Chains A and B, each alone.
Chain A
Amino acid sequence: MPGLGTSFGRGGATTAPSDLVNSEAILIMGSNMAENHPVGFQWVIEARERGAHVIHVDPRFSRTSAMATIWAPLRAGSDVLFLGGLINYVLDRGKEFREYVVHYTNASAILPVDVQDSEELGGLFSGWDAKSAKYDPNTWSFQRSPAADRKPPSDATQNPGGHTKESGARAADLADYDRDPTLEHPRCVYQVLKRHFARYTPDMVEQYCGVPKERFLEIAEAYCSASGSEKTGAICYAVGWTQHSTGVQIIRSAAILQLLLGNIGRPGGGILALRGHASIQGSTDIPTLFDILPGYLAMPKFGPDSSTLAAYINRYRDRTGWWSNFDKYIVSLLKAYYGDAATRENDWGFGWLPRVTGDHSHQAYWLDMMDGKVEGLFVMGQNPAVAAPNARLERKALAMLKWLVVRDMVEVETASFWYDSPEVERGELRTEEIGTEVFLLPAAGHAEKDGCFTNTQRLLQWHEKAVDPPGDARSETWFMYHLGTRLKEKAERDPGPRNAGLNALTWDYSVTGVQREPRVEEILQEINGYTGPDRTPVGGFGELKADGSTACGCWIYSGVFPRLGENRAGERHSRSAYGHGWGFAWPADRRVLYNRASARPDGSPWSERKKLVWWDALSREWTGLDTPDFTKTKPPDYQPPHDAEGDAGLAGDKPFIMHPDGVGWIWVPDGLADGPLPTHYEPLESPIANPLYPAQQINPAALKMERPDNQYARSPDPRFPYVMTTYRLTEHHTAGGMSRTLPHLAELQPEFFCEISPELAAERDIESGGWLTIMTMRGIVEARALVTPRMRPLRIDGKTVHQVGVPYHWGSRGLVTGDSANDLLAISEEPNVRIMEAKGLLCDVLPGRRPRGAAALDLWRTHMSHSS
């Protein structure tokens, strides 16, 4: 998500799947959209039938590839090389949408002399501190940023945490810098970009991605021609891009490509981040994540920046652009949390929030759990025993807990690790020696509770309760509410400083029915925001104030409940091509983000064919087919007075309103931990050395979290000669709790299988329909062998590289069971969002089943000990 956030201003898909019908070309990469978003894929089919190119680039020929007009095989982990090749193609042949690039991006910004690119420093950007293994991001700013306005150093390096960078909020104040609109100055971003991607030639792509040159050129021509005033192209991606040690930079590559081609904010353009779960967008917006607060505000980090609210606001508030309203949002959030107890005198309760002191993400705290440092854990609607990387470690770590509370609709593997797991089978864990107290609470299903999901296109949709949940099953709302009342009762009896937050917490939702279920609409109303003693709903985030008179649980959702009785997430009367009248999209029901860019600087549409939002000179406001993502009455020729602040500080031709300079960022001056531009690094385990930088094999800022129970192969490694990638199938869902337990889905894909090419099968003497065993430095699994020409060996730098395809849905519980592919993955962290690398690791494949019990580990250890 920071890939999109730093490039454009918000971390979310910029458009909706239904807008794809307007594309002349669609590039699907890092995604198997037909299998994992089948109903969303109907729009791709429709685009194709209207003549659009549908290009699929992927290590496997999947059901998406079968529907594409062009497919290219790709070596897993070489995405930046491929996308860089497309960028090189655009720049080399002058195919950029020039007017868009000059006016709507920072291509014209000039960099100071001391900023150096990875091409000049053998794979590192300037500002690398080898001792701390981090970049000082202050070294990437533009020439002549006023020193007096410079914000305090971004502490991304001191206290890692990447999601706030969605906002671009932590950028240094960069509204004033030198520019060259002719794009010819040798140090302007455009020229730096050209030099940066100069080596990403079609030959390079063929040699190191495995994409034949003619195929690459066919793709480049097809995609890059969908640009200009009459044509647009869209890019769709999913975890095939994000689950890499360079995940954010892969997305950044796509963002740069789209900015160069002028595709952002336009119909049929944009970047469609295809997220995976019903409300995963919601769970980042209203986050159950450690480093952010609702609406992408930053969790306070322990240190002087968070000693007072004023220091914290000073740290994050931009002078120009929409984040100048930052103070209104944090104060309103604190009022929502702490109500009347939050006053100006106590900094609105800011001091009651916990401070972040390091990496508190899943990967990090799970390693702490393994080391005995975590006593208690809640797991709600997630199944890390199957779905988390290095699943063997995940399961063993659960045995170190004092207490565990699992809430789910079925008994998932995470709840039964203590008696039914490979570790118990192998004798690594013994049930009678596991001291973990386990509570498994049954959960309500979606039709048994009110509430709303936020889908991949940022659309909030309310789902109505149809029936009561069965037996003792309850919603998470019920659980949290009643747990909270119990804990607040305890806090009431102990009103010391540690319980100040808990005692202040507003928790007065009303309950209904025999089951005493909280009224969920009241929670949504709090999320929307209200004002006054009678809690009058606010109409939108524009009404929020920093004086304590408004409360708002999540400012980007504000407007979803603008009046009593008006739950816009529940609206069900679509009345426009973009679905207005059905649900509520954040922000403010804008369906295509940055849609000011669908008009020229002068406010007229780029073309009749591609009109979306435009300036109506008669009524003096922006109008069109979508809600303008722009101040409605700001004229296109508006020029801000010197020293103007906030939104007034942005001119009328600056579409990227979340950024302090109002333009799309090709070069990201601040906000990312691993570089202002994407550059190619190999995955953490690779069959080859980095062809670009012999001295810098992998992303220098990525975290391997190497330890005896989380080891890595060498690059290359004769023990593990094949490249492995993991993925999902249409028939199953993630860790299988919602599919392997259901007869009608279980029978569609009953067994864990592995896809290999006929060539690899011959090399390893594996029969199709038989069994094979896969090993990595982390573990050993067995799977059925599916030998298919859809898996292709690639020629990489003159040698054959085989790829192995491994779906990850199986575990030990359910109607259909099998080994878990995640036993093979390492715990690693991409430096911005801390996501693991699940694609592009090294493995070996042997014919036949693995041994049962402890003998499996013996075989695995023997394999690891083979000498090179």
Chain B
Amino acid sequence: MTSNQAHHNYVAEGRTVGFFTDPTVCIGCKACEVACKEWNEVPEDGLIWTGHSYDNSGSLGGATWRHVKFRETENPVGWTFLSDVCKHCEHAGCLEACPTGAIFRTEVSSVYVQDDVCNGCGYCIVGCPFGVIDRRPQPLPGAGGAFKCTFCYDRQIDGLTPACAKACPTESIQFGPLDELHARADKRVAELHARGVADARIYNPVDTSVGGIHAFFLLLGPPEEFGLPPRPEVPTVYLRGAWLSAAMTSVLALAGACLAFALL
């Protein structure tokens, strides 16, 4: 039984888990999108044909937690599929921005939004460098609240695999302990390089303020070509500088005001 199907104990063990997504075996079927919505009771969020390849989901959002990207190329003709998801960052912008404690880090180090605590303020939305989390619009159930991938926390509590990984027909999405996935991914990249797929690389921005992502990807080209930021930053990395500026400004403003009084 592959790791995507086996029962586990990661929550009890407090083991950090991840997703490794490999587009070289992805068939673009969107089972991940549907399995996620079915399990998590995420509503349909738009019967809209985009005309962009076979991608009518558009982007991740409050009611789309898995999104398969389609990339067509010419000369030679090619088609690549990549299932996008919340990155469950090592340093998560949404978590740092949340003022209510709705967002917290679980035993398996995933980032979870508690819908019963969330007040819909939206600070998390601007905090995410990947554009993942979003408020659900009216008239969807839960409208106003911020939603994103839960890493199927409820399933993991019972030792089950997240719905998307379990469904994936070709195990393009692999679920398991993060360190094991890293080892598998490195091996996969080496294999692909040996086969002549020189473009293959891992997308896991560890040397940014995000500090690495727990749902990481193998890419067949630079991240921008797959709609991913090459150097994502957590906005709170600018906090110290911002406070310092604010402090400086207030000191200077105070000094200026005093001076103005003194000169009167």
Contacts of A768 in B (CB 8 A): 51
Contacts of B34 in A (CB 8 A): 744-745, 748
| B228 CB to nearest chain A CB (Å) | 20
Interface string of A671-711 (1 = CB under 8 A from B): 00000000000000000000000000000000000000000
Q: Say if the beta carbon of B236 comes within 8 Å of chain A.
A: no
Q: Say if the beta carbon of A769 comes within 8 Å of chain B.
A: yes
Q: Which residue of A lies closest to B44 (CB)?
A: A743
Contact B81 A63 (CB under 8 A): yes
Contacts of B25 in A (CB 8 A): 45, 49, 67
The stretch of A332-340, A448-456, A781-789 that contacts the partner chain: A781-789
A784 vs B54: C-alpha distance when bound (angstroms): 12
The stretch of B72-80, B155-163, B198-206 that contacts the partner chain: B72-80
Q: Say if the beta carbon of B37 comes within 8 Å of chain A.
A: yes
Interface residues of A in 27-43 (CB under 8 A from B): 34-35, 38-39, 41-42
Contact A35 B27 (CB under 8 A): yes
Q: Say if the beta carbon of A750 comes within 8 Å of chain B.
A: yes
Q: Say if the beta carbon of A61 comes within 8 Å of chain B.
A: yes
CB < 8 Å neighbour of A744 from B38, B53, B74, B81 = B38
Contact A749 B54 (CB under 8 A): yes
Q: Say if the beta carbon of A747 comes within 8 Å of chain B.
A: yes
Q: Contacts A744-B44, A786-B51 hold; do A63 and B72 have CB atoms under 8 A apart?
A: no
CB < 8 Å neighbour of A748 from B30, B51, B72 = B30
Interface residues of B in 43-71 (CB under 8 A from A): 43-49, 51, 53-54, 56-57
A356 vs B171: C-alpha distance when bound (angstroms): 50
Q: Contacts A35-B29, A753-B49 hold; do A66 and B44 have CB atoms under 8 A apart?
A: no
Q: Contacts A45-B170, A746-B44 hold; do A784 and B49 have CB atoms under 8 A apart?
A: yes
Contact A63 B33 (CB under 8 A): no
Contact A730 B29 (CB under 8 A): yes
| A803 CB to nearest chain B CB (Å) | 14
Interface residues of A in 753-800 (CB under 8 A from B): 753, 768-769, 784-786, 788-790, 792
Q: Say if the beta carbon of A476 comes within 8 Å of chain B.
A: no
A45 vs B168: C-alpha distance when bound (angstroms): 13
Q: Which residue of B lies closest to A62 (CB)?
A: B79
Contacts of A789 in B (CB 8 A): 72, 74, 77
CB < 8 Å neighbour of B30 from A45, A65, A730 = A730
Q: Contacts A41-B169, A45-B170, A743-B43 hold; do A63 and B30 have CB atoms under 8 A apart?
A: no
A768 vs B54: C-alpha distance when bound (angstroms): 13
Interface residues of B in 84-117 (CB under 8 A from A): none
Contacts of A747 in B (CB 8 A): 44-48, 56-57
Q: Say if the beta carbon of A815 comes within 8 Å of chain B.
A: yes
Contacts of A645 in B (CB 8 A): none
Q: Say if the beta carbon of B173 comes within 8 Å of chain A.
A: no
Contact A38 B77 (CB under 8 A): no
Contacts of B78 in A (CB 8 A): 66
| A624 CB to nearest chain B CB (Å) | 25
Contact A66 B80 (CB under 8 A): yes
Contact B56 A749 (CB under 8 A): yes
Chain A CB count within 10 A is highest, among B28, B46, B74, B81, for: B28
A749 vs B72: C-alpha distance when bound (angstroms): 18
Q: Say if the beta carbon of B31 comes within 8 Å of chain A.
A: yes
A744 vs B77: C-alpha distance when bound (angstroms): 30
Q: Say if the beta carbon of A305 comes within 8 Å of chain B.
A: no
| B32 CB to nearest chain A CB (Å) | 11
Chain B interface size band reads 20 to 34
A379 vs B27: C-alpha distance when bound (angstroms): 34
| B142 CB to nearest chain A CB (Å) | 15
Contacts of B74 in A (CB 8 A): 789
Q: Say if the beta carbon of A816 comes within 8 Å of chain B.
A: yes
Contacts of B29 in A (CB 8 A): 34-35, 38, 63, 730
Contacts between chains A and B (CB distance < 8 A), count: 93
Q: Contacts A750-B48, A815-B47 hold; do A42 and B170 have CB atoms under 8 A apart?
A: yes
A747 vs B42: C-alpha distance when bound (angstroms): 13
Contact B49 A66 (CB under 8 A): no
Contacts of B170 in A (CB 8 A): 38, 41-42, 45
Q: Say if the beta carbon of A178 comes within 8 Å of chain B.
A: no
| B36 CB to nearest chain A CB (Å) | 10
Q: Contacts A786-B51, A790-B79, A815-B47 hold; do A42 and B169 have CB atoms under 8 A apart?
A: yes
A400 vs B51: C-alpha distance when bound (angstroms): 40
CB < 8 Å neighbour of A750 from B33, B56, B81 = B56
Q: Say if the beta carbon of A731 comes within 8 Å of chain B.
A: yes
Q: Say if the beta carbon of A751 comes within 8 Å of chain B.
A: yes
Chain B CB count within 10 A is highest, among A743, A744, A746, for: A744
A41 vs B43: C-alpha distance when bound (angstroms): 29
CB < 8 Å neighbour of B77 from A731, A786, A790 = A790
Contacts of A38 in B (CB 8 A): 27, 29, 31, 169-170
Chain B CB count within 10 A is highest, among A49, A746, A747, A749, for: A747
A67 vs B47: C-alpha distance when bound (angstroms): 28
Contact A784 B51 (CB under 8 A): yes
Contact B53 A66 (CB under 8 A): no
Q: Which residue of B lies closest to A65 (CB)?
A: B79
Contact B37 A788 (CB under 8 A): no
A753 vs B54: C-alpha distance when bound (angstroms): 10
| B194 CB to nearest chain A CB (Å) | 12
| A445 CB to nearest chain B CB (Å) | 15
Q: Which residue of B lies closest to A743 (CB)?
A: B44
CB < 8 Å neighbour of B27 from A61, A66, A744, A750 = A66
A749 vs B80: C-alpha distance when bound (angstroms): 18
Contact A748 B57 (CB under 8 A): yes
A748 vs B44: C-alpha distance when bound (angstroms): 9
Contact B27 A67 (CB under 8 A): yes
| B16 CB to nearest chain A CB (Å) | 27
Q: Which residue of A lies closest to B53 (CB)?
A: A788
A464 vs B28: C-alpha distance when bound (angstroms): 31
Contact A748 B33 (CB under 8 A): yes
| B79 CB to nearest chain A CB (Å) | 4
A825 vs B45: C-alpha distance when bound (angstroms): 34
| A34 CB to nearest chain B CB (Å) | 4
Contact B79 A63 (CB under 8 A): yes
A477 vs B81: C-alpha distance when bound (angstroms): 42
Chain B CB count within 10 A is highest, among A730, A768, A816, for: A730
Contact B77 A792 (CB under 8 A): yes
Contacts of B56 in A (CB 8 A): 747-750
Interface string of A810-844 (1 = CB under 8 A from B): 00000110000000000000000000000000000
Contacts of A45 in B (CB 8 A): 25, 170
A35 vs B169: C-alpha distance when bound (angstroms): 11
| A441 CB to nearest chain B CB (Å) | 28
A49 vs B25: C-alpha distance when bound (angstroms): 9
A659 vs B77: C-alpha distance when bound (angstroms): 45
Contacts of B169 in A (CB 8 A): 38-39, 41-42
Chain B CB count within 10 A is highest, among A38, A746, A753, for: A38
Contacts of B43 in A (CB 8 A): 743
| B229 CB to nearest chain A CB (Å) | 25
A789 vs B28: C-alpha distance when bound (angstroms): 18
Contact A34 B27 (CB under 8 A): yes
| B173 CB to nearest chain A CB (Å) | 13
Interface string of B4-43 (1 = CB under 8 A from A): 0000000000000000000001011111011001100001
A745 vs B29: C-alpha distance when bound (angstroms): 11
A494 vs B34: C-alpha distance when bound (angstroms): 55
Contact B79 A61 (CB under 8 A): yes
Some 17 contacts from A to B, beta carbons below 8 A apart, are: A35-B29, A45-B25, A45-B170, A63-B28, A67-B27, A730-B29, A743-B43, A744-B34, A747-B56, A748-B57, A750-B47, A750-B48, A753-B51, A768-B51, A769-B51, A784-B49, A816-B47
The 3 A-B pairs of least Cβ separation, nearest first, read A769-B51, A743-B44, A751-B49
Known: A66-B27, A748-B56, A784-B51. 5 other contacts (CB 8 A): A42-B170, A63-B81, A66-B28, A744-B37, A789-B74
Question: What residues of chain B have their CB less than 8 Å away from a CB belonging to chain A?
Answer: 25, 27-31, 33-34, 37-38, 43-49, 51, 53-54, 56-57, 72, 74, 77-81, 169-171
